[in-house]
Amino acid sequence: AQRVTQPEKLLSVFKGAPVELKCNYSYSGSPELFWYVQYSRQRLQLLLRHISRESIKGFTADLNKGETSFHLKKPFAQEEDSAMYYCALSGRSGAGSYQLTFGKGTKLSVIP
Amino acid sequence: DSGVTQTPKHLITATGQRVTLRCSPRSGDLSVYWYQQSLDQGLQFLIQYYNGEERAKGNILERFSAQQFPDLHSELNLSSLELGDSALYFCASSVAPRGGGNTIYFGEGSWLTVV
């Protein structure tokens, strides 16, 4: 079974402060991890994925297999970063298929 | 624009009724996924199809069913609707059902309100 845990439902930070959105996962194989962002109940947009090791909108995330974590970080928060953030894991669900499992999400609120 | 198209965008219906939500995947994508997003349950995976065949099943109720047609569009049928079925239903698509960097793209969602 695969599971994604985002321990914080809500995270409030001041503009210009560092941001860290936590994500822990449980999966027996080698996981693929993603961060999605959702603005005001619009569609989910892919923010980044661990295999790309890229930085999007100043956000980065590093897969730590030892701690089974994939925390999302940004050094300086901007007001436009206020949104819902979902961590997701793509893992084998059986019969050769893969399933994308989401955490419950963290709402990031950036205070001006 | 992700390239995944969902209709209708908004739908209001009464309890006990049946509705059909439609999804057109991105051009070239063979796999379609359905998710339900409600305030109390978050994002719940419902079902996945690949090239017309069911590939994975999540927390989908027996009152719900889905299919993927030869032209790869998909429909999610919700019947005997209850107030608790009110949610945002997302469709997503990807090139293949496997991992290996497979990225899933989401549509705008269909807002269902059951009254």
Lowest mean pLDDT among A21-25, A100-104, B3-7, B98-102: B98-102
For residue A56, list chain B residues with Cβ-Cβ distance below 8 A. none
Cis ω on the peptide bond leading into residue B8 (within 30° of 0)?
Answer: yes
Tens-digit pLDDT profile for residues B22-63: 999 999 899 999 999 987 778 888 999 989 999 888 889 999
d(CA A71, CA A95) in angstroms, rounded, equals 30
Looking at residue B101, its pLDDT comes to 53
With CA atoms as reference, report the closest residue to A88 among B93, B45, B31, B27. Answer: B45
Test A99 with B107 for CB contact under 8 angstroms: no
d(CA A24, CA B47) in angstroms, rounded, equals 24
For residue B107, list chain A residues with Cβ-Cβ distance below 8 A. 43
B102 min Cα distance to partner chain A (Å): 9
Looking at residue B102, its pLDDT comes to 67
Residue B51: phi and psi, rounded to 5, are 50, 45
| Residues 6+ away with beta carbon under 8 Å from A31 | A2, A25, A63, A89, A90, A91
Cα Rg, chain B, nearest whole Å? 13
A23 has pLDDT over 70: yes
B70 has pLDDT over 80: yes
Looking at residue B100, its pLDDT comes to 47
Test B101 with A49 for CB contact under 8 angstroms: yes
With CA atoms as reference, report the closest residue to B78 among B31, B13, B32. Answer: B13
A94 has pLDDT over 70: no
